[in-house]
Amino acid sequence: MKNKKRNQKNTSNAVFKFLTFFASSLTIVIIISMIISLFYQSIPAIQKFGFVDFIFTREWSFNKDIYGAFRPLSGTILTSIGALLLAIPIALGIAIFITEICPAFLRNIISSAIELLAAIPSIIYGMWGLFTLAPLIEGTVQKAVSSTIGLLPVIGPMFQSEYAGGVSIFTASIVLSIMVIPFIAAIARDTFTQTPDILKESAYGLGATKWEVVRYIVLPYSKTGVQSGIIIAAGRALGETMAIAYVIGNRHGPLNSIFDPYTTITSVLANEFNEAVGTQLSTLFLLAFILFIANFITLAIAKIYSRRGLSNEL
């Protein structure tokens, strides 16, 4: 009788353990299935274009049935870099403000408000970017820049655009930067607050100003955390879809100016996947596969680099 009870207990624990293991292994199963199925769907495109040629082909033509990754890939990289260049200083500024300057009673409120930026769905950023921000940029920043810097020799044309509407790689970078600011700011804030007070106090004791404490104590101390936060944000930026799809303009033409519409991997997918067949569909799968791998590697680097706890994206 006693043994029977014991066996039942052991069996139910074994069953439960297996169930939990099965559920957690789904994470691996999903990732492996993604790699296999996306790659499998990409095979016709790889066979037709060759992987390396595909990366450097600029053409994207339905009539000739030739599709190259160069423009979407470069668009993805450029918008992400542009977004990070804008977002990093602002996000670090926000983190410095919250941890070092902000009065205690406001700290939570401002922190939460900045975090809410991350909760707004990306399609909302897209609509706002298309209907509100793009015309605004066209009428202000773009106009001002093209009538000043745009008149300079050599670099001038990079700030002139023949396209109207304000949708451009510049606008896309702005929208994207607003979307990644809360991620970098939250991670920077968390790592800043982990700086031991004793270090900061001894620097103040030596007569350092607040900025000097941040510059020579807080920033070096939280370097790893902040850097990995930036890499995570880069991963986010690479894969952002709906906001970009609205404001990038989806144009497979040469990029001559920061105010030209262009394309990214995600916006090509969002715009063309549903109607695509044959080689084009396979090409889109190949783009998705490339994005998946790029994103995966970026985030893996960030995770291995930092070995952080609970990810701040949650």
Partner 1 sequence: MKTEQEIVLETKDLNFYYGKKLAVKNITMQFPKNMVIALIGPSGCGKTTLLRCFNRMHDLYKGIKYEGEVLFHNENILTKETDATQLREQIGMVFQKPTPFPMSISENIAYGLSLKGIKNKTEQKDRIEKALKEAALWDEVHDRLDKNANGLSGGQQQRLVIARALAVEPSVILFDEPTSALDPISTSKIEELISELKSTVSIIIVTHNMQQAARISDKTAFLYLGELIEYNITDKIFTNPDNELTERYVTGRFG
Partner 2 sequence: MNYKLRKIKNVVVLSLSVGATGIGLFFLGFILFDLISKGFSSINIELFTVDQTPPILDDVKGGLRHAFIGQIILTVVATLIAVPLGLLGGTYLAEYGRHKRIGRVISMLADISVSMPSIIVGTFVYAILVKPLGGYNGFAGAIALAIIMLPVITRTTEEMLKLVPWTLREAAFALGASYNNLIVKVVWRGAATGIFTGVLLAIARVAGETAPLLFTSFNNTQLSFDLTKPMPSLTVSIYQYASSPYSSWINMAWAAALIITVAILILNLIGKWLINWRYKS
- The footprint of partner 1 (CB under 8 A) covers 2, 5-6, 9
Shortest distance in whole angstroms from residue 6 CB to partner 1: 5
**Residue 194 Cα distances to 99, 231, 253, 303, angstroms:** 10, 20, 48, 18
Q: Are 127 and 243 in contact (CB under 8 A)?
A: no
- Out of 81, 85, 101, 152, name the contact with partner 2 by CB under 8 A: 101
Shortest distance in whole angstroms from residue 5 CB to partner 1: 8
Q: Which stretch binds partner 2 (CB under 8 A): 50-58, 60-68, 255-263, 280-288?
A: 280-288
- Out of 7, 47, 61, 132, name the contact with partner 2 by CB under 8 A: 132
Among partner 1, partner 2, none, what binds residue 17 when CB lies within 5 to 8 Å by partner kind? partner 2
H or E stretch including 311?
none
Our finding on whether 75 is near partner 2 (CB under 8 A) is no
Structure tokens at 12: 């139910």
Q: Are 172 and 248 in contact (CB under 8 A)?
A: yes
Our finding on whether 229 is near partner 2 (CB under 8 A) is no
Q: Which is nearer to partner 1, 7 or 61 (CB)?
A: 7
Shortest distance in whole angstroms from residue 60 CB to partner 1: 57
DSSP 209: -
Q: Estimate the crossing angle of helix 278-306 against helix 223-239, to 10 degrees.
A: 170
Q: Which is nearer to partner 2, 150 or 262 (CB)?
A: 262
Among partner 2, partner 1, none, what binds residue 185 when CB lies within 5 to 8 Å by partner kind? partner 2
Our finding on whether 85 is near partner 2 (CB under 8 A) is no
- Looking at residue 276, its amino acid is A
- Out of 27, 105, 155, 197, name the contact with partner 2 by CB under 8 A: 27
What whole-number distance in Å separates Cα of residue 69 and Cα of residue 56? 7
What whole-number distance in Å separates Cα of residue 312 and Cα of residue 193? 14
DSSP 151: G
